[in-house]
Amino acid sequence: MALRAAVRSFAVVALRPKPAAEVFHAQTFQVREMSVFSSIKDNISHRLETRKNDKNAQAYVDQINFLANSKTYTLQDHFEQMKKQAEAGGVTGWKSMMPGVSSMPQIQQMKASLQIMEAMEQTHRENPALINGKVKRIVSEKVGQSLEEINNTLRSYEQLNSLRLWLRKRVERGLPLPDSLDNTTEMIREDPTGFPTKNLRY
């Protein structure tokens, strides 16, 4: 009986209309609570984005340093570098299973380039000068990619190799290396010494 009375008493108190001031206080608390959670969410998102940007920036610097210190850079080297980037970027590995990743244009482009280079004989990857029209047609049939796509892959490699030659010239002259894409573009514009654009075949 005492328990029932206590429950009834609690129910009456619970159902009794709250004063306007108390309701306003509760609503204000809820608004503040939502604001706090929203702030925390924004803060976490900002940190994740900053971390991602920092990681990408460091990856770019690492790539620049790698090229600047490479005496040679064959298509085989390019292939190995792209495989590492592919795994880090979600083209291969567990990240590729995440929704939407595989359909991203840059991911599809990298996949196509990897397939093209993988279909080539290692002899051709180690000595790209041996890659002629016949070799490209064979690769095209193997992977189902157009000759234009194959030329794009080779052009990408040659441009990176040209960048390597330019970077090594800067190292020899004791000049600073770029630390971002914008910085690289600006430096090449101001000092194109050693950047052999005329030798690009594709």
Is residue 104 predicted with pLDDT exceeding 90?
no
Q: Which two tokens stand for residue 115?
A: 């397939």
- The three-state DSSP-derived secondary structure of 16-62 is CCCCHHHHHHHHHHHHHHHHHHHHHHHHHHHHHHHHHHHHHHHHHHH
Residue range 54-88, pLDDT digits in tens:
778 888 899 999 999 999 999 999 999 988 888 77
Segments forming the whole domain that contains residue 145: 54-190
Q: Is 3 contained in some domain?
A: no
Q: Is 22 contained in some domain?
A: no
Instruction: Count up the domains in the chain and report the number.
Output: 1
Distance (Å) of CA 32 to CA 25, 29, 37, 47, 201: 10, 5, 9, 22, 63
Q: Is 12 contained in some domain?
A: no
Which H helix or E strand runs over 161? helix 147-172
Alpha carbons within 13 A on the beta-carbon side of 124: 16
Q: What are phi and psi of 180, to 5 degrees?
A: -155, 165
Predicted TM-score (pTM) of the model is 0.67
Q: Is 117 contained in some domain?
A: yes
Q: Is 156 contained in some domain?
A: yes
Residue 182: which CATH number? 1.10.260.30
Is residue 39 predicted with pLDDT exceeding 80?
no
Q: Is 62 contained in some domain?
A: yes
